[in-house]
A = this chain, B = another copy of it.
Amino acid sequence: MSDALLDAAVSQFGDLGLAGASTRAIAAAAGIAMSTITYRYGGKDGLYLAAADYIARTIGERMQPALPARAGDPLDRILGLVRGFTALMLSEESRPWARFIIREQMQPTAAFDRLWDGAMREVLDSLATGVMAATGRTDVKAARLTAMTFLGQVLVFRAARAAVMRALEREELEPDDVAAIHGRIEANIRAILNAEAVQ
């Protein structure tokens, strides 16, 4: 379900933060009166939480297909999950809500619980399970740590996008940059899991 008000809220909260965004501007972008926000969500804070739910729902839908830890090669499952996450992080679509999430990571509010429960925990668990299966190791915390380093290699291309663009000397990501990033990450993960596997 699409919602003009929530789209505008995610975009502006993501770009400017809770304090920086204004309900006037959000309402204007959504084509409604500001007081309608008060009516529907009780105020700015309520709208912010609703935006978090909206993001969690969207990510959940996007990642769902890759999630189930069904039978199959664990390495393939991990690579599929990471590739999906990478594509998401590189996409323009992810920009506003990735910003939203990173802000919440740095300063969690009640909205972070909704993001974590609604979208993040499942992805991390699925990755950690795959890591254990692929390496033959059983330390859950260690597997989660490894999974985190996988996610970090992907996240950096969104969270440090400005530095990435300077490093690549580009104005924006070209298709061959995207391919190179996918290839680099996949090679890294293969190397790490390979080195970690118990004989």
Within 8 A of B (CB), among A89-123: 99, 102, 104-108, 112, 116, 120-121
- Tell me whether chain A's interface is mostly helix, strand or loop, or mixed: helix
Partner of A195, one of B141, B154, B161, B187: B187
Is A198 part of the binding interface, using a Cβ–Cβ cutoff of 8 Å?
no
Question: How many residues on A have C-beta within 8 angstroms of the other chain's C-beta atoms?
Answer: 56
Report the copy number of this chain in the oligomer. Answer: 2
Partner of A105, one of B147, B159, B196: B159
Partner of A188, one of B102, B149, B157, B169: B149
Q: Which of chain B's residues have a CB closer than 8 A to the CB of A181?
A: 145
Instruction: Say yes or no: A166-B121 contact (C-beta < 8 A), given A184-B145, A187-B196, A191-B195.
Output: yes
Cα A120 to Cα B107 with chains together (Å):
24
Q: Which of chain B's residues have a CB closer than 8 A to the CB of A124?
A: 163, 167
Instruction: Say yes or no: A142-B17 contact (C-beta < 8 A), given A161-B106, A190-B195.
Output: no
A149 touching B184, Cβ below 8 Å: yes
Is A194 part of the binding interface, using a Cβ–Cβ cutoff of 8 Å?
yes
List A residues at the B interface (Cβ < 8 Å): 15-20, 99, 102, 104-108, 112, 116, 120-121, 124, 128, 141-142, 144-149, 151-157, 159-164, 166-169, 180-181, 184-185, 187-188, 190-192, 194-196
8 more A-B residue pairs beyond the given contacts A155-B156, A159-B159, with a C-beta to C-beta distance below 8 A: A102-B159, A108-B162, A148-B163, A148-B164, A149-B156, A149-B184, A155-B155, A187-B196
